[in-house]
Amino acid sequence: MSLRRFVSMLTAGSAFVAVVLSLFPSTASAVPLYARQTGQKCVACHVGGVYPLLTSFGRMFKLTGYTMGDRPNLNELEVQKDAPPISIMLQGARQYYANTSNGLNGAAPGSAMDMQVLSLFAGGKITDNIGAFIQWTGQKYGDTQTGSQWTSASGIDNTEVRYADRILGPDSDLVYGVYVNNRSTMSDVWNTTENWSNVFVGFFNGGNAQAPVTFLDSAATQHGMVGVGAYAFKDNTWYGEMAVYKSVTHGPATFLLTAGTTGMPLIDPSPYVRLAYNKEMGPHSFELGIHGMVSYAHNGTADSGGISDWAGTVNTYRDVALDGQYQYVLEPHYFAVHGRFSHENASFAADQVGSAVSNPTNILNETYLDATYVYKAKYGAMLMYQGVTGSTDALLNPMGPAGSPDWKAWTPQIFWAPWQNVRIGYQYVFYTQMGGTTGGNLNFGGTTYSPHDFNTSMLYASFIY
């Protein structure tokens, strides 16, 4: 399919969406379920209308348990009067690869235009103090590949239920609550963690780039464990949070887990902590904080075929990160910057040294920065930088000539939102270092590559309603 034909299809599809949306009342048509609940447009909760970047109002909506708004309690909804508390998101794309070893596309330098992801959302206000964010996702390209074909996958995605309350005094404001969710950093309201960063528009095949990150940011256990946490937000300034996450393999809590998570590491009870200082001055918003987690991950055994098993030995990952964000939100200009510096100290079980890793301990440092500008909630540009340095380990990082995990990448992106729930964009991932080298001496599948050979770009369109 030619680029011109693809753009024509996107334009025609967007026009069709506009016609369909015009058939519905404007207060409940062009925005997702939370906007219908609050009666606000997308820009009220998201910076320039860009999901998932939260504004001050969006952060408060999440912290108060997704309950803000005039929608009746769940048991009081009327079929003929109230919109159902559901939304849908579609993402389609065409990807382009600098290398020909991507597996999914054989020797082709680019993929065909394809529908990648379908997500269904439900939740919002259940009672005055209880609310939910529930996401189910179906993706055409799952984790299983046979030859050049991938098996589709579907299952529960980011999901959280909160109980929250708010105590307002003449000179004080306290928001507090508890939550149950299925992914560490799911609770993030400042978009400084991997789960809610600007990389949410993901590739369905990233070109096999070796780009290790910390255990906490790798999403190695996403939707494969359950966390219970508590938090408090004092005077819109001081924030504190504590949680414990654990893998579950049976019982009622497994409804929070994605089907097929047996290949993920099994986690013993692992603590997560976050502290933050927040300051808001008119259209300006600033946050500086620290978060971290100690994760106890089981290895596989001979009987489990190498899959993580409760009987296996335990690796310990100690992650701590400094994070910050700045926002300017005032029509027609919207601007946001996020940053994170993460440090990981990983200790490996004795039976892993010499087989899975070379060293009993490894260090990994990760730097992440992004900047987003949106004009009139329609035209936008983003720039992301991610870089990692760490201990050399020939077994853990076999691609580089010296076993180095070091890599760097820049990701520029431009997009256009003709309507608040339609987004068309182009992003490009440009690697300047991989495996500790900037030259052409990376070994992948017996072939030598340079970091640039793993560059990947994507022309995409997303729709949420």
Instruction: Give the DSSP per-residue string, 84-135.
Output: PSEEEEEEEEEEEESSS--STTTT-SBPPPEEEEEEEEEEEESSSSEEEEEE
Residue 84 has pLDDT above 90, yes or no: no
pLDDT score for 302: 86
Q: What is the mean pLDDT of residues 399-404?
A: 88
pLDDT score for 202: 60
Tens of pLDDT, residues 234-244: 999 999 999 99
pLDDT score for 206: 57
Please report, for residues 28, 97, 111, 142, the alpha-carbon distance to residue 104 in angstroms, rounded to integers and kept in the order given: 39, 11, 8, 11
303 pLDDT band, cuts 50/70/90, is confident
CATH homologous superfamily for the domain 3-144+155-464: Porin (2.40.160.10)
Instruction: Quote the DSSP letter at residue 9.
Output: H
Residue 102 has pLDDT above 70, yes or no: no
What does the alpha-carbon distance between residue 111 and residue 105 come to, in Å, rounded to a whole number?
Answer: 6
Please report, for residues 13, 35, 304, 433, the alpha-carbon distance to residue 315 in angstroms, rounded to integers and kept in the order given: 49, 43, 17, 28
* Highest-pLDDT range among 67-76, 137-146, 210-219, 372-381: 372-381
Residue 106 has pLDDT above 50, yes or no: no
Of residues 219 and 312, the one with the higher pLDDT is: 312
pLDDT score for 428: 92
User: pTM of whole model > 0.95?
Assistant: no
pLDDT score for 25: 37
What does the alpha-carbon distance between residue 42 and residue 31 come to, in Å, rounded to a whole number?
Answer: 6
Tens of pLDDT, residues 1-20: 444 444 344 444 444 443 34
* CB proximity list for 140: less than 8 A, separation 6 or greater: 114, 115, 116, 117, 150, 152, 204
Please report, for residues 295, 307, 353, the alpha-carbon distance to residue 310 in angstroms, rounded to integers and kept in the order given: 14, 10, 19
pLDDT score for 110: 64
CA-angle at 431, arms to 109 and 211, nearest 5°: 100
pLDDT over 70, % of the chain: 81
CB 409 within 8 A of CB 429: yes
Domain ranges (residues) in the chain: 3-144+155-464
What does the alpha-carbon distance between residue 119 and residue 124 come to, in Å, rounded to a whole number?
Answer: 16
Tens of pLDDT, residues 164-180: 999 999 999 999 999 99
pLDDT score for 111: 67
313 pLDDT band, cuts 50/70/90, is very high
Q: What is the mean pLDDT of residues 86-100?
A: 82
Burial 93-117 (b: 16+ CB within 10 A, else e): bbbbbbbebbebbeeeebbebeebb
Q: What is the mean pLDDT of residues 401-430?
A: 92
Burial 327-365 (b: 16+ CB within 10 A, else e): bebeeeebbbbbbbebbbbbebbeebeeebbbbeebebb
What does the alpha-carbon distance between residue 334 and residue 301 come to, in Å, rounded to a whole number?
Answer: 51
Nearest Cα neighbor of 181 from 196, 195, 161 is 161
Burial degree of 84 (CB within 10 A; 0-12, 13-18, 19+): exposed
Residue 104 has pLDDT above 60, yes or no: no
Computed over every residue of the chain, the mean pLDDT equals 84
30 pLDDT band, cuts 50/70/90, is very low
